[in-house]
Amino acid sequence: MDLTGKTVLITGATGSFGSRFIQTLLHKHDVQAIRVFSRDELKQSQLAERFDHDERLRLLIGDVRDLERLRRATREVDLIVHAAALKQVPACEYNPFEAVQTNIVGAENVISAAIDNQVPLTVALSTDKAVNPVNLYGATKLCAEKLFAQGNSYAPRGEVRFANVRYGNVVNSRGSVIPLFKAQAAVGEIAITDERMTRFSITLPQAVDFVLSCLNLIQGGETFVPKIPSLRVADVADVFAPEATRRIAGIRPGEKLHEVLLTEDEARHAFDAGDRFIIVPQRPSWRRTDPDGAALPEGFRYSSDDNDRWLTHEELAAMGASLEPAA
């Protein structure tokens, strides 16, 4: 999708991903306007200052729970990137109704507004937590994925399309392991849940580039999964807290030992497209064809503990040294 002259709306735009996505659009794409849709006026003001009050920025106070506000905000928009969500696992567990209102009802509202205003393309950000979820956050994101995949059935003529992008932990996002261990190392003790634990890992620039690279591939209903490296939590401790005492805290409620980005069941209707997997809808009521790529073998599973690409100590150190401050 050529974004030249286009109007892009980003929900949750003042978060880590949204801020980096805006930076990329401003510096590398000749967009007409970027609508910053979020609830926090202070963060919007800070974001505007960060980008020197670029005249292409439009600061829209709003909540994805508010359908009427979304309808107003999405008029004459060419692309929606839906990044707004309640993401902290403990907060979602303690405030379950709020998580449902934002992550599920908010997703439905984005879809409804896009259909009402004939927005050609909407991409929703998902997470590995949505795969075989063990916490409410993951469950709400699974529901959101299903809504965005099957939301295409409400616009069968192909003028409006929805898809998902699902990836793993973003390095230096709030609560991620590298900045956490770096901070804990300063006081001499780090808390490790389990030294066997593994995670998928992606940087913010990689996440932004991946979302942009998916735009031209969307027919409607896909979930795009990047092929990304895994890391071992014990390796992160070795690199960033080698002298610190290690305290084994145990796996927290709602946490997994390993993460999965593609299940055996999904593999039956997914394709290997080189640098990514593409999960296609099983029963689309809209016109589409299979993507370019190879069918996956029976029983294929893409999990963080059984990956063919692992971050080395050197790569981890370089990544930690180059981290940008999290938004």
In the chain, domain spans = 7-168+202-227+260-303
The answer to whether 129 is a known catalytic residue is yes
User: Comparing C-alpha atoms, which of 137, 143, 144, 142 is closest to residue 255?
Assistant: 137
Residue type, 61: I
7-168+202-227+260-303: CATH architecture: 3-Layer(aba) Sandwich (3.40)
User: What average pLDDT does this structure show over 14-40?
Assistant: 97
Q: Is 20 helix (H, G, I), strand (E, B) or coil?
A: helix
Residue type, 84: A
Phi, psi angle pair for 161, to nearest 5° = -135, 145
The pTM of the full predicted model, rounded to 2 decimals, is 0.95
pLDDT, residue 327, reads 45
**172 pLDDT more than 80:** no
Q: Read off the pLDDT band of 67 (50, 70, 90).
A: very high
Looking at residue 326, what is its pLDDT?
45
CA 220 to chain centre: 18
How much is the average pLDDT of 67-74?
98
* Phi and psi at residue 79, to the nearest 5°: -150, 130
Select which of 129, 141, 146, 256 is catalytic: 129
Hey, how many other C-beta atoms are within 10 angstroms of the C-beta on 295? 13
- pLDDT tens string 129-160: 999 999 999 999 999 999 999 999 998 777 89
Q: pLDDT above 70 covers what percent of the chain?
A: 97
Q: Quick check: 174 pLDDT over 70?
A: no
Task: Provide CB contacts within 8 A for 323, sequence distance 6+.
Answer: 171, 172, 178, 179
34, 57 contact by CB (below 8 A): yes
pLDDT tens for each residue of 41-60: 999 999 999 999 999 999 99
Cα distance between residue 94 and residue 50, in whole Å = 34
Burial of 97 (0-12, 13-18, 19+ CB in 10 A): exposed
User: Which H helix or E strand runs over 137?
Assistant: helix 136-150
